[in-house]
Amino acid sequence: MAAGREYCTRTISIVLRGAAMNSKTEKLLSVLKLQPVVPVLVVDDAASAVPLARALVAGGLKAIEITLRTPAALEAVRRVANEVEGAVAGAGTILNAAQFDQAVAAGAQFIVSPGSTPDLLDAAALSAVPLLPGAATASEAMVLREHGYEVLKFFPAEQAGGAAYLKALSSPLAGTLFCPTGGISLANARDYLTLPNVVCVGGSWVAPKELVAREDWAGITRLAAEAAALKG
């Protein structure tokens, strides 16, 4: 009896997790497919986040990841979510459940993490906002697949083995899609975008600190447009 009940509970929880995840996967894919490159931002001043996000949207990059690496980050997510028409505000560098909840409360529509932890996955399972968790090895990806994740961030992409490494995962991990991030630029983005298991790439190169400091929004729109025109 006990074994039967345990089997049932496990089956129900796997089915529920799968069902919940599928709609979240669709939501996540609809965001990631908006553009070939997701800009990764480190925002020092929340006030600059709005013109910066407007410049990126004007160049064709709507989904924007604001990393929780600065004290201004949550306010930046809030402002971009509320004030920038056409932007899809996301939060990155989410390391734990508390940050996940704070980012969602600030209005983040997708959450990105460099890796995953059991606590973070529990928080994500309770939320309607999709998580793009990081993985750098086949084993990490397999654990996330068991949790129902079909789209993962490959991080740090260049340092972990680059496009050749990710290509080698495409056949054994068929069905899993990646957004490689880390060390990607205009020069090597296409190496990833042409892979069958890549949905988009992420990168900070479209919003260089010098251009933000100079408030060169037109320059950022140019970089965004160049990135938005990349094809797989």
Ligand X SMILES: O=C(O)C(=O)C[C@H](O)[C@H](O)COP(=O)(O)O
Q: Which residues bind ligand X (CB under 6 A)?
A: 40, 67, 92-93, 112-114, 155, 181-184, 202-204
Helix extents (H) in 33-181: 46-59, 73-83, 97-105, 118-125, 138-146, 157-160, 162-170
By beta-carbon proximity to ligand X, the closer residue of 41 and 195 is 41
Which residue number, 18 or 71, has a Cβ lying nearer to ligand X?
A: 71
* Residue 24 annotated to the active site: no
Torsion of CA 73, 94, 171, 194, to 10 degrees: 0
Which one is catalytic: 153, 210, 215, 226?
153
153 carries an active-site annotation: yes
Q: What are phi and psi of 207, to 5 degrees?
A: -135, 70
Residue whose C-alpha is closest to residue 135's, from 122, 119, 123, 149: 149
Minimum CB separation of residue 15 from ligand X in Å reads: 30
Q: Which of 24, 62, 65, 158 is catalytic?
A: 65
Nearer to ligand X among residue 81 and residue 112 (C-beta):
112
Q: How far is the CB of 158 from ligand X (least distance, A)?
A: 7
Minimum distance from residue 2 beta carbon to ligand X (Å): 42
Burial class (CB in 10 A: 0-12, 13-18, 19+), 218: exposed
Whole-number minimum distance, CB 178 to ligand X, in Å? 12
Residue 148 tokens, joined: 């129902």
Active site residues per annotation: 65, 153
